[in-house]
Amino acid sequence: GAGVSQSPSNKVTEKGKDVELRCDPISGHTALYWYRQSLGQGLEFLIYFQGNSAPDKSGLPSDRFSAERTGGSVSTLTIQRTQQEDSAVYLCASSLIGGRTHGYTFGSGTRLTVV
Amino acid sequence: AQSVTQPDIHITVSEGASLELRCNYSYGATPYLFWYVQSPGQGLQLLLKYFSGDTLVQGIKGFEAEFKRSQSSFNLRKPSVHWSDAAEYFCAVDMNSGYSTLTFGKGTMLLVSP
C-alpha cells in the first residue's frame, strides 16, 4: 500500500484480556519495527524484523509480549493478560532494507487502553 | 548507554519567528540522525536525516538541521515558523551498530503563538 497501515486505530480492553495489534507495512519494505509510545516514556523500541532473519526481540518488556511477521509482510503484536501499564500508543514502522539510509515510515498507531 | 537528549520539553514561538530545537546524543561514533514530527493523533513523519556528507541537511516543510560532531548535536531549525508547525518533534539516532533500530529522544512540544 501507499503507507504503513495499522489496525485497529483504537482498542479498549479489560485488564487480563489478550489483544492483537496488526501492522501492514509498505509493499517491498523488508524491515518492520514495533515501538511503544507512552506518556513520560517517549518512544520505546519493542521488536525488529528484517527479512527472513531472526527478529531482534530485545525491546519486548515482558514475556506477555510477542510478535510475528508472516510471509515477510503483515505483522501482529500480541499482548497477553494485559495490564494497565500496557496502555500506550503502539507504532509500527517499515523501511527498505535496514532503514539507516532510507529512513523509516511510521503508521498512525494503535491507541491501546486497558481498563 | 547510548542516549538521545532533547532538553526542552516545551517551546513556545511566535508565528513568523525563528525556531531551533536542540538534540544531543551520547555515542562514541557518528550515528545516523533523524528528526521526526508528530501531529496530534498521527504517526511520525520524517522531516530530514543525516548519515554522511554535508553537515547541514535540508528537509521538508522548510526545516533544516546541522550536525556538529564536536558537540554531538543535531539541532533542528526553521527561519520562520507557521502556525501549522505546532506539533511534537522527535530527534532519533541509529547507532550504526548491529541491527538498525532507532533510539528516540523524549520529544519537544512546539507551541506557536499568534
pLDDT at B96: 64
B71 shares contact with chain A (CB less than 8 Å): no
Q: How many CB atoms lie within 10 A of CB B40?
A: 7
Distances (CA, A) of A6 to A44, A84, B12: 18, 21, 32
Chains A & B: contacts with CB separation below 8 Å: 60
Task: For chain A of 115 residues, list the mean pLDDT of each consecutive stretch of 10.
Answer: 89 98 93 89 88 88 94 92 96 79 86 96
Q: Residue B21: which pLDDT band, with cuts at 50, 70 and 90?
A: very high
Distance CA B36, CA B103 (A): 12
What is the mean pLDDT of the segment spanning B7-22?
Answer: 96
Buried b (16+ CB within 10 A) or exposed e, A75-112: bebebeebeeebbbbbbbbbbeebbbeebbbbbbbbbb
Nearest CA in chain B to A32: B101
User: How distant is the Cα of B23 from the closest Cα of chain A, in angstroms?
Assistant: 15
